[in-house]
């Protein structure tokens, strides 16, 4: 199950690259709001510190900590300090003074305390993570004995200087910190942060629909504002700081976080509690804004907190508030399909579903009405936007900025941001995400996604089978709109595979005529598998001129005949076409786009994956035409990687590929492993069928329905059957265990393994295990795909 706009491409990562990708996801600019409105609409306001108590706190703290216009702990500005982090140690003293005053006067203990430890790396479930904030408000009653990201409430970044370079560094790190909080712990619904450059403070907020920043204030000359900020955060409830009270962190087992999760059901006033046993996917959590989808295998708990019933699958996400929920869509799709035999077998069965409620209210991001009030300016000016990359107009800085923008053009997708989507954030108007609602759904079936499968024949058979439920949807007037390798689920039983089509959240009735009145600025779909037209939101195969039924001059107008004799036309009777023919065409998703996504899934497994040949026995050697020497491989693999990047990382080649004259078979022959080259023909046949179908259908784009997709559907069935057989010739079968990027990174030679047909294990010739569990986790998260976290499956290459 994938998330909107997510990616499943595998590319090697480092922390700075991850940060840049997440930073691009936030957008080029974010709303900048009045500090008073930031306090009113975003910061906690249900804590025990009333206005009267706050005045008393200010009086005491300022009397002991503030003198002659300065904080006593800041005798000089941080810019004059020798060491940056030491220059902000005074903030901890101020927070401690607040804590002491509140304890003495009101007998209250803080929820969070301010700490400064810039040289220490907080704990993280990702061992490779070295994120190190300069300071943070951290829970007083911690889950972990040592500082850990799951206990950090409000990370801080400090700079002694307030120049452009320092400000930009703080911004990038803070956006990353907020993303990391929501990615690290499934309980975090939103996150805060704050930055200080010399004396300038900014407060930050990130949720599933927005990232924004407050107006700056001077913490030295505005001491009461600093105290208001500190007391608000220190004495807030954990709910108001972003933790989800309907999820409980279970003590770690084998170093893995598990959760007890409440799911509301309409038939019972008490929620049903499920305990996670295995993380299936956290692809959505790797994107700063969006659905934030996580999927677990779970078991229901009884009143004694013991497992009851069989394993289930729980999906936690943030769908758009104005969209119908997935269970509603699935039920309507099945009703519209009607009594087609075995239709239910192609879809998941819902056991429980409901929106999440916290404190008696549905858990939502800011509704539009609150957004408008939040963005409004107290002085009546137009809403402001803050540049996430502050500009230094010196010549040296301009050159550096140009290099940064160029690097974003080639950014990886560690956070589900491709370079071509990141570049759009730079070139387009800011994207306004729709308000979102926290929702959970539980399915009865436990399957694995196509992302988890490495056997190529199984993958291709599954792609052929999933065309059937897709066709049923199309015939009943529906389009799926999010076909991906993560949304095609499989169960492999011996030599047979069963498929289920999942994630119908964005499925929609086909529109005929004018577009729907409900508009969403964010495209639906998974980037790697999105149809070219859907990504562009424009038709690419329209005829060069739209044919009008009536010739405006008539077939034999005398004026036209007279032109040949030099007669100047006068008083010609012209037929004006009806106004609707002049209306701009509004792009609408149609069934062909779903089928193109199937094609992109197939292309992804053939082009973006490295192969491993599995011999069925020692009696037949590998034929020379299927083998590859280490030297040939070392020459070919970078070329394949470059081709894969052009399609699934940069995206520049995708539009050209959907042109009829594109030489796809030639590229397959040059760049792919010899064992895959025969599959170039069926892959290309489907591509050509798609182009022809688009060209024929877009003569009349207002009336495209499922009939336009029938020729492509037939070609998919034929070509996928051919490809499946070609992927398992005697005497070997093809597996696709890793990405091209990972193979290049590891510089591994292709290993030919031996096994019996009934043995599903794969072991390298040298007897070494494959990637360990942590690498498998990091790799799967980097590519945005589903992964199995247990060590045994990681060793088996899955």
Mean pLDDT, range 440-464, rounded to an integer: 97
**Percent of the chain with pLDDT strictly greater than 70:** 77
Given a cut of 80, is residue 694 above it in pLDDT?
A: yes
Mean pLDDT, range 485-506, rounded to an integer: 95
Mean pLDDT, range 443-450, rounded to an integer: 96
Contacts 24+ apart (CB under 8 A), 489-493: 489/348, 489/445, 489/447, 489/448, 489/449, 489/450, 490/447, 490/448, 490/449, 490/450, 490/453, 490/458, 490/462, 491/445, 491/447, 491/448, 492/453, 492/458
The two three-digit tokens of residue 711, written as one number: 């020729």
pLDDT of residue 579: 56
Tell me how far apart the alpha carbons of residues 607 and 743 are, in angstroms, rounded to a whole number: 13
Q: How confident is the model at residue 623 (pLDDT cuts 50, 70, 90)?
A: confident
Return the minimum-mean-pLDDT range out of 115-129, 348-362, 371-385.
Answer: 115-129
> Which of 63, 31, 32, 41 has its CA nearest to residue 227?
63
pLDDT digits (tens, 9 = 90+) for 307-320: 999 999 999 999 99
Three-state secondary-structure class, residue 563: helix
Given a cut of 80, is residue 450 above it in pLDDT?
A: yes
The conformation of residue 380, written as its DSSP 8-state character, comes to S
Specify whether the CB–CB gap between 189 and 242 falls below 8 A: yes
**Percent of the chain with pLDDT strictly greater than 90:** 62
Return the minimum-mean-pLDDT range out of 340-349, 425-434, 460-469, 656-665.
Answer: 425-434
pLDDT of residue 369: 87
The conformation of residue 364, written as its DSSP 8-state character, comes to B
pLDDT digits (tens, 9 = 90+) for 50-101: 999 999 999 999 999 999 999 999 999 999 876 655 679 999 999 999 999 9
Return the minimum-mean-pLDDT range out of 536-550, 683-697, 775-789.
Answer: 775-789
Given a cut of 60, is residue 11 above it in pLDDT?
A: no
pLDDT of residue 789: 33
Mean pLDDT, range 457-470, rounded to an integer: 98
Is the bond preceding 731 in cis, omega lying within 30 degrees of 0? yes
Specify whether the CB–CB gap between 619 and 388 falls below 8 A: no
Tell me how far apart the alpha carbons of residues 273 and 269 are, in angstroms, rounded to a whole number: 13
Mean pLDDT, range 134-152, rounded to an integer: 91
Q: How confident is the model at residue 339 (pLDDT cuts 50, 70, 90)?
A: confident
pLDDT digits (tens, 9 = 90+) for 506-540: 999 986 654 444 455 556 678 899 999 999 999 99
pTM: 0.82
Mean pLDDT, range 648-652, rounded to an integer: 85
Where along the chain do its domains lie? Answer: 2-446, 456-510+585-767
Mean pLDDT, range 18-40, rounded to an integer: 80
3-state secondary structure 177-193: HHHHHHHHCCCECCEEE
Q: How confident is the model at residue 788 (pLDDT cuts 50, 70, 90)?
A: very low
pLDDT of residue 646: 94
pLDDT of residue 576: 59
Tell me how far apart the alpha carbons of residues 551 and 230 are, in angstroms, rounded to a whole number: 74
pLDDT of residue 69: 95
> What is the residue-averaged pLDDT of the chain?
83
pLDDT digits (tens, 9 = 90+) for 653-691: 999 999 999 999 999 999 999 999 999 999 999 999 999
Q: Say which residues have a Cβ less than 8 Å from residue 611's Cβ, sequence separation at least 6.
A: 456, 673, 675, 676, 734, 735, 736, 750
pLDDT of residue 786: 34
How many CB atoms sit inside 10 A of residue 40's CB? 14
Given a cut of 90, is residue 283 above it in pLDDT?
A: no
pLDDT of residue 597: 98
> Which of 723, 764, 725, 730 has its CA nearest to residue 623?
730
Mean pLDDT, range 179-193, rounded to an integer: 95
Q: How confident is the model at residue 586 (pLDDT cuts 50, 70, 90)?
A: confident
pLDDT of residue 502: 96
pLDDT of residue 126: 66
Mean pLDDT, range 259-286, rounded to an integer: 90
How many CB atoms sit inside 10 A of residue 398's CB? 12
Given a cut of 90, is residue 326 above it in pLDDT?
A: yes
Q: How confident is the model at residue 349 (pLDDT cuts 50, 70, 90)?
A: very high
Q: Say which residues have a Cβ less than 8 Å from residue 752's Cβ, sequence separation at least 6.
A: 612, 613, 615, 622, 627, 732, 765
732 exposure class (CB count in 10 Å sphere: 0-12, 13-18, 19+): buried
pLDDT of residue 654: 95
pLDDT of residue 85: 54
DSSP string, 579-612: GGGGSPPPP---HHHHHHHHHHHHHHHHHSEEEE
Specify whether the CB–CB gap between 719 and 686 falls below 8 A: yes
pLDDT of residue 413: 33
pLDDT of residue 769: 30
Given a cut of 90, is residue 198 above it in pLDDT?
A: yes
Tell me how far apart the alpha carbons of residues 474 and 465 are, in angstroms, rounded to a whole number: 15
pLDDT of residue 540: 94
Q: What Å distances lie between residue 677 and 91, 621, 669, 674, CA to CA?
A: 64, 19, 5, 5
Domain 456-510+585-767 is in which class? mainly alpha
């Amino acid at each position: 199950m994938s998330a909107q706009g997510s990616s499943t491409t595998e590319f090697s990562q480092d922390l700075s690259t991850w940060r840049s990708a997440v930073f691009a996801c936030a957008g080029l600019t974010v709303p900048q709001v009045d500090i008073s409105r930031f306090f009113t609409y975003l910061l906690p306001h249900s804590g025990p510190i009333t206005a009267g108590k706050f005045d008393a706190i200010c009086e005491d703290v300022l009397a002991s900590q503030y003198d002659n216009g300065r904080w006593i702990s800041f005798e000089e500005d941080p810019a004059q300090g020798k060491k940056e982090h030491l220059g902000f140690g005074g903030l901890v003293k101020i927070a401690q003074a607040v804590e002491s005053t509140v304890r003495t006067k009101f007998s209250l203990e803080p929820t969070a305390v301010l700490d400064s430890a810039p040289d220490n790396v907080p704990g993280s479930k990702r061992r490779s993570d070295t994120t190190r904030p300069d300071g943070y408000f951290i829970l007083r009653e911690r889950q972990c004995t040592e500082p850990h990201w799951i206990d950090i409430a409000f990370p801080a970044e400090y700079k002694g200087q307030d120049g452009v370079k320092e400000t930009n560094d703080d911004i990038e790190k803070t956006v990353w910190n907020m993303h990391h909080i929501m990615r690290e712990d499934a309980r975090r619904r939103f996150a805060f942060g704050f930055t200080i450059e010399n004396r300038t403070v900014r407060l930050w907020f990130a949720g599933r629909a927005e990232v924004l920043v407050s107006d700056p204030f001077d913490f030295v000359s505005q001491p009461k504002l600093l105290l208001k900020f500190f007391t608000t955060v220190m004495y807030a409830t954990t709910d108001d700081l972003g933790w989800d009270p309907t999820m409980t962190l279970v003590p770690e087992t084998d170093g893995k976080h598990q959760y007890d999760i409440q799911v509301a059901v309409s038939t019972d006033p008490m929620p049903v509690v499920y305990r996670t046993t295995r993380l299936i996917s956290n692809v959505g959590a790797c994107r700063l804004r969006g659905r934030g989808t996580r999927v677990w295998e779970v078991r229901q708990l009884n009143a004694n907190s013991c497992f009851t019933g069989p394993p289930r699958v729980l999906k936690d996400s943030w769908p758009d508030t104005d969209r119908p929920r997935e269970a509603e869509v699935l039920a309507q799709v099945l009703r519209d399909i009607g009594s087609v035999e075995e239709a239910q077998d192609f879809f998941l069965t819902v056991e429980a579903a409901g929106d999440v409620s916290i404190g008696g209210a549905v858990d939502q991001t800011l509704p539009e009405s609150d957004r408008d009030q939040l963005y409004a300016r107290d002085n009546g000016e137009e809403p402001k936007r803050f540049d996430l990359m502050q500009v230094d107009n010196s010549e040296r800085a301009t050159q550096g900025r140009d290099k940064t923008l160029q690097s974003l053009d080639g950014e990886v997708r560690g956070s589900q941001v491709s370079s071509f989507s990141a570049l759009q954030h730079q070139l387009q108007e800011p994207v306004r995400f729709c308000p979102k609602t926290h929702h959970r759904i539980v399915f009865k079936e436990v399957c694995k996604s196509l992302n988890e499968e490495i056997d190529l024949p199984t993958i291709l058979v599954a792609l052929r089978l999933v065309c059937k439920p897709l066709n049923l949807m199309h015939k009943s007037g529906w389009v799926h709109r999010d076909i991906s390798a993560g949304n095609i689920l499989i169960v492999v039983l011996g030599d047979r595979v069963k498929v289920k089509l999942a994630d119908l959240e964005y499925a929609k009735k086909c529109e005929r005529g004018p577009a729907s009145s409900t508009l969403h600025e964010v495209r639906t779909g998974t980037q790697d598998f999105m149809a070219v037209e859907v990504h562009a939101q424009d038709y690419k195969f329209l005829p060069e001129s739209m044919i009008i039924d009536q010739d405006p001059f008539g077939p034999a107008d005398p004026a036209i005949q007279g032109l040949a004799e030099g007669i100047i036309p006068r008083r010609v009777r012209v037929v004006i076409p009806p106004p609707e023919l002049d209306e701009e065409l509004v792009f609408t998703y149609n069934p062909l786009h779903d089928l193109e996504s199937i094609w992109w899934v197939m292309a992804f497994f053939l082009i973006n994956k490295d192969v491993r040949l599995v011999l069925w026995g020692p009696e037949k050697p590998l034929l020379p035409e299927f083998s590859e020497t280490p030297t040939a491989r070392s020459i070919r693999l970078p070329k394949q990687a470059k081709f894969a990047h052009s399609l699934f990382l940069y995206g520049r080649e995708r539009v050209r590929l959907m042109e009829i004259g594109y030489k796809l078979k030639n590229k397959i022959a040059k760049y792919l492993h010899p064992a895959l080259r025969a599959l170039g023909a069926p892959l290309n046949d489907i591509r050509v069928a798609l182009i022809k179908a688009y060209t024929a259908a877009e003569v009349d784009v207002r009336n495209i329905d499922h009939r336009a997709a029938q020729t492509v559907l037939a070609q998919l069935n034929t070509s996928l059957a051919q490809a499946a057989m070609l992927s398992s010739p005697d005497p070997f079968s093809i597996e696709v265990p890793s990405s091209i990027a990972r193979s290049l990174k590891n510089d591994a030679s292709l290993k030919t393994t031996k096994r019996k047909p009934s043995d599903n294990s794969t072991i390298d010739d040298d007897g070494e295990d494959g990637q360990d569990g942590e690498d498998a986790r990091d790799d799967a998260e980097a590519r945005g795909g589903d992964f199995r976290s247990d060590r045994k499956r990681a060793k088996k290459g899955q």
